[in-house]
Amino acid sequence: MAEEPVILNRADLYEQVWSTPMIHLAAQYGLSDVGLRKICKKLNVPTPPAGYWAKLQFKKKEKKLPLPPLKYGDRETYELKPRQEYEAQALKGKDAANLDPKIAALFADVEKASKPIIVPERLTSPHPLVKMTLDVLEKEKPDKYGVLRAWRQKYLNVRVSPSSLKRALRIMDAIIKTFEERSYKVEVGKGEGPGTYLLIHDSTLNFELTEKINSVSHVPTTAEIEKQKKYSWEKPPLYDFRPSGLLTLKIDEYNAQGYRKSWADGKTQRIEDLLDDFIVGAIKVAIIAKEERLERDRQWAEENRLRAEREAQRHAAEKFIKELEDKAQAWAKSQQIQAFIENMEKEYAERALSPEDQVKLKDWLAKAKRYADWLNPITRGFPFEE
């Protein structure tokens, strides 16, 4: 079933961005926080400044920027395109026609093997991971957002309200069993907290099943008002959080940008109807993620080779320069000594020396010339020889 577009109303979006941190709200729509900020900018919706949520957490009063009046020609809504369309556009931008034949063949095999996945109305013979997660979540109490979550590594990453728990685990059970039928593995416990990991085509994908949480302005109770009068620092919460019953499946993977990684309940569709798309999409993401990692490894190897080559060239150049300067210094010293020897010969040639001193001078000059010749790199051999 095709996923429907989501229409974002300007006024609704304004209330949402001021009641839910941008990164969490963006995730609910399958966007990055940067992408959601761009939409807010297009609709002229002000967003909380940096540090806004941290200050609220410490009960510091922060000003909420007003929503500017709608001017003539301004957009009041924004159509959030389905993830399939984002994927198609991304593939078009990458020139899908030139997709590696090996990858194209893998994609074709994945799509050919796709088949409708039936989620039963009752959870019977659950997978061990599902059973363990159910046992622990049934004993948990909802957090301030009204959802249950496991805090240890060995459980599935499911964050839903008590009323959605059985449905969520039926979905997870169908997903895990389908992957295992295809000889893929599903594991938990690779991070610090709960996590569900798909091991596909040498890729490890982290995915989660969460429930969308709505936030509404909190109406202080009489007891809260009286308490605040008595203790000024005791302030009631700004918002109440209510689970919506709408679930989202999301793959948390940086690689394979442009490929669909989020599937959600809509007005007329349910995740149960999208599980075959999720299975195919997850396998595609795993294939592309692996290829991108291999390509990065190839690029890094080539960069390392070029870096080593440049380093070797630098060392060779430094060695050449040092040898050149050493030889130039040796040559200059040999020329200085040679000039000194010539002056010695000229000076003592005009003196009357005894036969014994003449022998000594001759011997001294011979040694001095040998040393000057030894210092002179030109007389020692071809300068290009090692």
What is the residue extent of each domain of the chain? 1-80, 84-323
Condensed to tens digits (0 to 9), the pLDDT of residues 172-229 reads: 999 999 999 888 888 887 666 668 888 888 888 888 999 998 888 888 888 888 888 8
Round to the nearest angstrom and report the end-to-end CA distance of the chain: 75
The amino acid at residue 108 is A
Please check whether residue 375 is in contact with residue 333, taking contact to mean a CB–CB distance below 8 angstroms: yes
- Output the pTM of the full model: 0.59
CA angle 99, 105, 107 (to 5 degrees): 80
Give pLDDT, residue 382. 63
**SS3 of residue 121 by DSSP:** coil
Q: Which residue has the tokens 């669909």?
A: 260
Q: Encoding tokens for residue 382?
A: 């071809």
Q: Encoding tokens for residue 99?
A: 């997709």
- Residues in the chain predicted with pLDDT less than 50, given as ranges, are 1-2, 84-97
The CB-based long-range contact list for 81-89 (8 Å cut-off, 24+ gap) reads: 81/5, 82/2, 82/3, 82/4, 82/5, 83/3, 83/30, 83/260, 83/261, 83/262, 83/263, 84/2, 84/3, 84/260, 86/258, 86/260, 87/258, 87/259, 87/260, 89/258
| Sequence-ordered list of residues with C-beta below 8 angstroms from that of 332, at least 6 positions apart, any chain | none
Give pLDDT, residue 2. 46
Give pLDDT, residue 369. 92
Give pLDDT, residue 291. 86
CA distances to 19, 215, 233, 240, 270 from 224, rounded to whole Å, are 20, 19, 12, 14, 39
Please give the Cα distance from 299 to 315 (Å, whole number).
Answer: 24
Condensed to tens digits (0 to 9), the pLDDT of residues 40-69 reads: 988 999 998 877 887 777 677 778 899 998
Helix (H) or strand (E) holding 200: strand 196-200
